[in-house]
Structure 1
Amino acid sequence: MSIYQNYKSTFTSKNVSQFNDLLNQIEFEKLGLSEYNLNYIQEMKPTFFYYIQLFDFTVQDFVANNDYKDKWIIDFGGGHGFLSLYLKFLGFKVIYCDFNENAVQTARKVAQTIGFGPEYYVKGSSKEIIDLIREENLNVEYLISTDTIEHVYDLDEMLKNFIQINPKIKMIFTTASNFDNKIKSKKLQKAMIKDEIEDFIPKRKTYISNNFKSLKEDEINFLAEKSRGLRYVELDDFVNYYQENNKIKPVDVDQFNCCEPDFGAWTERILPLDYYKKLGEKYGLKLAVDNSFYCIIDKSGMKRLVVKYLNMFVLKNPGLGIKLAPTIILKYN
């Protein structure tokens, strides 16, 4: 079945329809969720069906012959937990993982309300997942991650850890940071510039000022600007290098990608496909890439018609379609 046929099948899928009904029955405002997570879910609610379509489309593109029953899968960067719930609904055994405590609590509360959920909840990242899997002696065959890979600080470390889980693990990552979609890239780059100027530079400036008292104000400003892409844990070496050599140590980051300095979460980091390909090859993994699709259910009239044909073009023409695709699917095998 082609990926366009996969997409078409999501509209008539009983799984998608039934799970959509389950989610829409939940009164999220009564679950005691954090304000951020509640607002996020309420904004999603009118287009729940679209997100479940994406889940179903991605899984179809991932697991042959719908062989879900009792197969262990990791939902990496699980957020509100809807993907984990859908995976469980399909028959997987699920390990949910997210770094954010509020996200983990949201996922637990939604699962309790809906009546089923992941076998395990992990607060942390790839290292904590390895610890759990080794402790429980689990045979994990699959990993899926939506809208997370663009925020992970060290992708090399992440893949290295995941290969330790199972050298033959099948991994799939979706990301809206599509390097080849130049229109989308420019919008994301504007968001990066805003975050860097308004948030990240001031944070690095405060850290340098507090920890290097001998520096002058203009030096602090200079170092804060030139250390884009570094976390607090790397700033000491960066500043020490400057003090010892009277020059800046180069930082391997392009002119837009930037991250918050606490844990290193990138702002929608945009990387070319060749980067992902070479990273996979380092660990013996082959990369395949598919395009994803735009939401059509909230469109009407001419807009709906335009999106319908846009999705058809994007999915049927992978080479040219990637230049317009809203999301790409990275498959490591």
Structure 2
Amino acid sequence: MEYIFKFCNLPDDKSTVKIVNEAANRLYYKLEGIDIETLDISDYNKRYFGSLLKNLRSNLQRYAYILVWSITKIDIPLKKLVFLDYGGGSGMLSLLAKECNIGTVIYNDIYDVSARDAELIGKAIGDQADYYIPGDIDKVIDFLKTKSINCNAIANYDVIEHIYDIEEFLKKISLISDNNNLRVFFSSGANPYNPLIKRKLVKNHHRCELLDRESIFGRKERDPLESYLKIRKKMIKNLNPDLSENQVVYLAAATRGLIEYDIKKAVNEFLTSGSVTFKQKYPQYPTNTCDPYTGNWAEHLMDIYQLRNVLQRENFQADIWCGYYGDSNTLLKCLAARSLNLLIKSSGRYGLIFSPFFTLCGNIAPQSSY
């Protein structure tokens, strides 16, 4: 079977495309036969990874596309290449990278439970990554420096829209390699140019900000059940019990999108000056909100071209690319997906209006292009 999106843009390097497609085919049959209920993994990943397995071919098409573009045009043999799956979740991208026989595959996720589960899943099917690193980008940088490892490629899906300070993250990316040969490929479903996606994410922003949630099977334990607004009000009251109710309401609204340590700064500023000068970094998307405890954004809508500019200032050749649709389980949906892919491919940047995701991609390397 084919595990590359139909009618999408692909690199000229057909040998790499073939390697990834054949690896995805092998991985498909490995994962199709896995019984996740017998694995000693968390309920969260039994639910989350299980949902990926229900649409396995489509998901593998997406990860194959990401991997192909992550490792192509790098003048390093696959056996010597170092690939970092940053924010890997259940680890499907790492599994595919190992199935491609990439020299060194490094998995990372800020959630230690996912890091543990991804390693167990990798062991179960014989595609274990070489390293598993729980923690944020600083932990990854420290680990790589300790091991004297230089990454050649870093990629992910649905990660950058959750990172609290995405611009600071992008400024640190080059630190995972000191040999001036690094490729990035960050794909995200939080596409602000697709009106259907944007409407759906705005609704999710409102739910996270205003509504408490029930504890359901497979819930991510680090995610709170209380609304973000309620949490911020409690934090603010604890910081200064003498604040009036009106002042608490004002501060809770003014600190939307802030993590706890920044909320403390805002409250101190208010007590000193009587106002809060914090402004939304992306004011065209005022519904954005994040978990005040962890800074995890609720599908952060961002100025994606501003992110490209950040990478460019860090000496990356960088751009924004359109994403594509994978095949579905029914013929009609497959035909619709492929028709949309043709439209996206032929529409240039306007294809983002129809795309299910976007990609922030780039490379830092002498005499290299993508």
TM-score scaled to structure 1, two decimals? 0.93
Q: Secondary structure at the match of 2:360?
A: strand
Structure 2 distance, partners of 1:46, 1:277, is 34
1:59 aligns with 2:67: yes
**Aligned residue type for 1:267:** A
Task: Classify the secondary structure of the residue corresponding to 2:80.
Answer: coil
Partner SS state of residue 268, structure 2: helix
Question: Does residue 1:44 correspond to 2:44, yes or no?
Answer: no
C-alpha deviation, 1:65, in angstroms: 6.2
Match of 1:125 in 2: 136
Which secondary structure does the structure 2 equivalent of 1:4 belong to? coil
**CA-CA distance at 1:108 after TM superposition:** 1.1
Q: Write out the 4+ residue segments of structure 1 that deviate beyond 3 Å after TM superposition.
A: 5-10
Q: Which letter does structure 2 place at the counterpart of 1:286?
A: Q
Alignment of 1:163-312 (within 5 A): 163-166=174-177, 167-198=180-211, 199-253=227-281, 254=283, 255-301=286-332, 303-312=333-342
Is this contact kept in 1: 2:171–2:310, CA < 8 A? no
Following superposition of structure 1 onto structure 2, how do residues 101-116 of structure 1 map, counting pairs within 5 Å?
101-116=112-127
Could you list the runs of 5+ residues in structure 1 that have no partner in the other structure?
none
The Cα offsets for residues 12-56 of structure 1, whole Å up to 9 and x where unpaired, read as: 932221110011111101112211210112222221111111111
**2:351: which partner in 1?**
321
Of residues 138, 161, 166 in structure 2, which corresponds to 1:150?
A: 161
What displacement does 1:165 show?
2.1
Secondary structure of the equivalent of 1:96?
strand
2:111 is aligned to 100
SS in 2 for 1:170: strand
Is the Cα contact below 8 Å between 1:69 and 1:90 reproduced in 2? no
**1:150-171 superposed Cα distances (whole Å, 9 cap, x missing partner):** 1111123212322122243111
Deviation at 1:110, TM superposition (A): 0.3
Cα distance in 2, alignment partners of residues 13 and 138 from structure 1: 28
Aligned residues of 1:70 and 1:91 also touching (Cα < 8 A): no
Query: What is the percent sequence identity of the aligned residues?
Result: 24
Q: Structure 2 unaligned runs (5+)? A: 1-5, 212-226, 364-370
Q: 2:8 aligns with which of 4, 10, 14?
A: 4
Residues of 1 paired with 2:336 and 2:151: CA distance?
41
Matched, 1:84 2:94: yes
Distance across 2 between alignment mates of 1:65 and 1:205: 50
Kindly provide the CA deviation profile for residues 207-238 of structure 1, in whole angstroms up to 9, marking residues without a partner as x: 11122111112211221122101111111111
* CA distance in 1: counterparts of 2:241 and 2:209, whole angstroms: 23
Deviation, 1:3, is 6.8
Question: Could you tell me how far apart the structure 2 residues matched to 1:172 and 1:87 are?
Answer: 14
Q: Which residue number corresponds to residue 83 of structure 2?
A: 73
Residue pair 1:55, 1:83 contacting (<8 A) in 2 also: yes
User: What amino acid is aligned across from residue 256 of structure 2 in structure 1?
Assistant: R
* Secondary structure at 1:69 match in 2: helix
> What does the per-residue CA deviation read over 1:120-165, in whole Å, with 9 as the maximum and x for residues that have no partner?
1100011111111111111211111111011111123212322122
The higher relative CO (CA closer than 8 Å, separation ≥ 6) is in: 2
Measure, in 1, the Cα distance between the counterparts of 2:127 and 2:54: 23
Equivalent residue for 2:171? 160
Corresponding letter in the other structure for 2:79: K
Secondary structure in structure 2 of the residue aligned to 1:49: helix
